[in-house]
Structure 1
């Protein structure tokens, strides 16, 4: 990758300072506080929004956002909508849903993915607020799919851009493990049939190219023999898992995280034993 693309210096606007989390992805936001009932000025909203596009994900230090202001926080970036399931039910009366380690047992969140990339209209952003974080373990790993694309040899990249992939929400059992009742499972499957997606996609706002196949959903590459398709996907996944493009994030109580769901692949790490891990999630269009 071109070192000129690395994030090396903090960016500052008024009292807000964003420090790079890694040279490739992530920013740590300090000096931002969202108080209940207080409107955030448009210049601040625009600064944070543009920083999110630049860094891929932003972590707001504990105290920036709380349980009561988290939904208002999600409105700064778009329109939140409920996107839970029986394993991740609604949190409160708003559009948030809860991800509780004592309840959510599907384990598919430990496979690399972009949220809902098996649907024609996955959300723009995903935000999480840590109600209770483990004392150790329970990290979330992020991979910048645009940075992974920049690792490719130009000839390989040009060929991959000609290919399409089938994404299936039940490829690794996400839908089957989320709905135990046969009627609800059938309905969920019918609402999410297999979807043809480009192997290389262009970000609609930044114009950056990215590797789009997700290990959780990718079924096969269209038009290639099975073995060739499998090898192509393994190569793509290897680039997406490269240490150069991966950033681990460790949770703290009260921390708030938002990422650009169009380009940031992520997965959880199941290494926190029986500790409690409760996150509230906002899906933002």
Structure 2
């Protein structure tokens, strides 16, 4: 029997009663999906699975996303193997790949190897962040769009020694305009959809207004009451909804940390309305 143990009041649950080494029944898939929509990020402990089992589990919920700028983009598994993560981009609040024409729906991250201490990950409920804004600011944000651009995050990666062709990546993913408030395709909840990694400006506002409002909206997600923090163990898998959350990888270690991630796109029936014809 699958059970969900809520971790904080507003986000996160630990899942028990399921063995990810085995194929799931349709009923189990639907039960996990409903828990995922409710809690926004699910934690599965003691799941010592293979990469193939990791991918098979992910494919129950969406299609595999292959960002072409990743050096291992031919594999469904993206390997995060780091000893010096500070400044590489994970250590700032973000939603994954909001610069893509259709941002990925979610990710499933599995812990392989940990430093002796540190390396936690935090998630924040972006729907609650929107709800916590005052009604006048909500109404303003409802009317705004923002530019999302891969450039800044790629420059950080290049400065850390990663071999990327910035001009090629910019040509593939030019800046794109997105709503500041995203309406979740399945729950109908509104989420604040700006982040420090990719959002560069609010389109309808002038420079001084951007200087005042955009940093506030970006930093608003940092309120602890929106958040949950995961202390990893080898065999832990986290599955989050990229449409209603942001996350932050704590860069407080200098020993090896190895994680395997599968990122998924939505099935057509779960796409945001604005993307269904794209």
What is the Cα-based RMSD across aligned positions, in Å?
2.2
Question: Would the alpha carbon gap of residues 181 and 97 (structure 1) be closer, same or farther in structure 2, given more than 3 Å must change?
Answer: closer
Aligned twin of 1:215: 196
The offset of 1:223, in angstroms, is: 2.7
How many Å apart are 1:64 and its aligned residue?
Answer: 6.2
Distance 1:212 1:282 in 2: 22
Query: Taking structure 1 as reference, are residues 81 and 44 closer, same or farther at Cα in structure 2, changes over 3 Å only?
Result: same
Q: Give the match for residue 26 of structure 2.
A: 42
Give the counterpart of 2:64 among 51, 57, 80. Answer: 80
Show the counterpart of 1:61. 45
In structure 2, list runs of 5 or more residues that go unmatched. Answer: 266-278
1:276 to 243, 252, 256: 256
Note if 1:25 corresponds to 2:6.
no
Q: CA shift at 1:34, angstroms?
A: 2.0
Q: Distance in 2 between matches of 1:60 and 1:228?
A: 43
Higher relative contact order (CA 8 A, sep 6+): 2
In the TM superposition, residue 66 of structure 1 has moved relative to its aligned partner by 4.3
SS in 2 for 1:220: strand
- 1:199 corresponds, among 180, 184, 187, to 180
Between the aligned partners of 2:129 and 2:172, the Cα distance in structure 1 is: 31
Aligned equivalent of 1:89:
72
Deviation of 1:237 after TM superposition, in Å, equals 2.0
Q: Could you say which residue in structure 2 is the equivalent of 1:71?
A: 55
Q: Distance in 2 between matches of 1:207 and 1:177?
A: 40
Provide the secondary structure at the position in 1 that maps to 2:4.
strand
Supply the distance in 1 between the matched residues of 2:101 and 2:220 (Cα, whole angstroms): 24
Residues in 1 aligned to 2:257 and 2:48: alpha-carbon distance in whole angstroms:
20
Runs of 5+ in structure 1 lacking a partner? 1-14
2:268 aligns with none
1:186-211 deviation line (CA, Å, top 9, x unaligned)? 11110111111111111111110011
Question: Higher mean Cα deviation, 190-199 or 106-115?
Answer: 106-115
Q: What is the TM-score with the length of structure 2 in the denominator?
A: 0.87
